[in-house]
Chain A
């Protein structure tokens, strides 16, 4: 069970870590100063979540790897984040759509995880939920603004939805790891979460005058360590210091 709990915790941690890293690339480059601050803030929250979760994962594993070793010294196949979060920032619209899909998943997910029988996960979920509600409000409002803004913004954001929607099902990927923990009431089932996700996404898209793509072709694999080409580059940058100067204190 510990192996499964470790794996499950990594999946949640890596989503926060990789998306936090992606958003941190934008610091200093936002379309307006207020958004620069908002995106950095979200990145900061996600790095904080990743830290808590990786510390917990390290304690489960109990093999003298601390949170930093887990964050910086695994190889790409050992990262268990969903494919969605590793996608490049693209334009502001695609950054927002990626965030919107992720937050729409994360809010009901943390809500459910807050009742986990695993006290550590429940506590982290409770804390993270507060932040996630703000993130979701922020990303939903921007989807509406961009969707119902100008024809250019509508087209751009619709294109981002068409491209990014194919990765959403990776968020709901479920295998023996999840199922074993669901049976112990440690992990919530994705069934209800997916329902809430769909409801929220559809309601926001409707208000934004946007729609889901007709093509329902989907990609999964992130939870098993099968990633897109993008992750390797992200890791090369993120791990640079730890790889170039191993075993040092910073």
Chain B
């Protein structure tokens, strides 16, 4: 058998990408492609799991039985997304426990939006509507991502996210139509979550160090700014339709470009939060780490038990 040169492997790989043939776990892939995917998919998994916390914080205080059940189901879906994504990451040779330790040590990142506090019931609406709405913008194109396991996980994730987005919007809509106190709660949540939601798409294209390579590899299909614009264009009319005001004095419809122009994002805040100085960064990691540490004896017991049973089976 003749040896295939690295160059040829690279050519074959790029050929597949160009023809939109999915890359599968056993296929050859460049190291950087693998690394980029591990980084992105594990960040995505961490975001799902850390993202359980701000909403989990309100399950015990949900205002009625239906809201409690829906919120429980939603947060449970997020844990499920975390699981598929960790599994997708494992297909690239990453170890789940290691990636989680990287999260706890601060080496791996997660979506910065979850470093903002959920301080009122309306935040459950705003998170579903805006945060899951922004996540959908990001994730729908990922269903066509060049890496097969990630693309397939995203198909399922997106279906559930669109349900989440609708339930969030419904919470906000009910509040916006409710008593003055409820409407105020809804507006306050929009005020706090609007800008951080726009930041979810990442830095401006000119500042984004990963975008070009990721687009060449068809991991990413749109730039950060394109996705952000799509989000603004979809979301502003939704806010208007329920009588809420988007907290941006520079926001206006641009007839010529057929899109909204919006104000300047505070990138200083964005980078501060990414670097760990957001309102909840420490709490989120402390809580996740505590769950892992407190569960150590449980995981050890499960391992010891399954070993004992295996030994018994062998003897028998």
Write the residues of chain A forming the contact surface with B, with a CB cutoff of 8 angstroms.
21, 24-25, 27-37, 40-41, 43-44, 47-48, 50-51, 54, 67-68, 71-72, 91-93, 144-146, 148-150, 152-153, 156, 237-238, 240-242, 245, 248-250
Contact between A32 and B298, CB atoms less than 8 A apart: yes
State the Cβ distance, B98 to closest chain A Cβ, in Å.
15
User: How far is it, in angstroms, between the C-alpha of A92 and the C-alpha of B298 when the chains are bound?
Assistant: 7
B180 to chain A, nearest CB (A): 11
* Cβ–Cβ contact A250 & B72, under 8 A: no
Most chain A CB inside 10 Å of its own CB: which residue of B67, B121, B301, B305: B301
Which residues of chain A are within 8 angstroms of B297 by Cβ–Cβ distance? 150, 152-153, 156
User: Does any Cβ of A come within 8 Å of B60's Cβ?
Assistant: yes
Assess the B60–A21 pair: CB atoms within 8 A.
yes
Which B57-112 residues have C-beta < 8 A from chain A? Answer: 59-69, 72-73, 75-76, 79-80, 82-83, 86
Whether B56 pairs with A68 at a CB distance below 8 angstroms is no
Q: Which residues from chain A contact B53 at a C-beta distance below 8 Å? A: 28
Are B76 and A37 interface neighbours, CB within 8 A? yes
Total inter-chain residue pairs, C-beta < 8 Å: 140
The answer to whether residues A28 and B56 also contact, given A36-B79, A44-B76, A149-B304 and a CB cut-off of 8 A, is: yes
Q: Which of B76, B79, B121, B301 contacts A149 (CB 8 A)?
A: B301
A27 cross-chain contacts in B, Cβ below 8 A: 52, 56, 59, 72, 75-76
Q: Interface-forming stretch among B5-13, B210-218, B287-295?
A: B287-295
Specify which chain B residues have a CB less than 8 angstroms from the CB of A41 in the assembled complex: 76
B76 near A250: Cβ-Cβ < 8 Å? no
Closest to A208 in B: B305
Within 8 Å CB of A48, what residues of B?
69
**In whole angstroms, what is the CA distance A169 to B86 when docked?**
43
Set of chain B residues within 8 Å of A25, measured between Cβ atoms: 59-60
Q: How far is the CA of A79 from the CA of B60 in the complex (A)?
A: 17
Interface size class of B (residues with CB under 8 A): 35 or more
**A interface SS class:** helix
18 additional A-B pairs beyond A27-B56, A27-B75, beta carbons within 8 Å, are A24-B68, A32-B299, A33-B82, A35-B298, A36-B52, A40-B79, A47-B68, A51-B69, A72-B63, A145-B301, A146-B305, A150-B301, A153-B304, A242-B64, A248-B181, A249-B174, A250-B64, A250-B171
Q: Which residues of A contact B299 (CB under 8 A)?
A: 31-32
Does residue B265 face the partner (Cβ distance < 8 Å to A)?
no
B67 surroundings in chain A (CB, below 8 A): 250
Q: What's the least CB distance linking B178 to chain A, in Å? A: 6
Which 7 A/B pairs are nearest by Cβ-Cβ distance?
A31-B295, A149-B301, A153-B301, A28-B56, A241-B63, A28-B52, A250-B63
Inter-chain contacts of A31 with B (CB < 8 A): 291-292, 294-296, 298-299
Q: Which residue of B lies closest to A31 (CB)?
A: B295
Chain A minimum-CB-distance residue to B69: A47
Whether the Cβ atoms of B65 and A68 lie closer than 8 Å is: yes
User: Chain A residues with Cβ under 8 A from B14's Cβ?
Assistant: none
Bound together, the chains give a CA A67 to CA B49 distance in angstroms of 32
Which single residue of chain A is at the shortest CB-CB distance from B306?
A145
Residues of B within 8 A of A47 (CB): 65, 68-69, 72
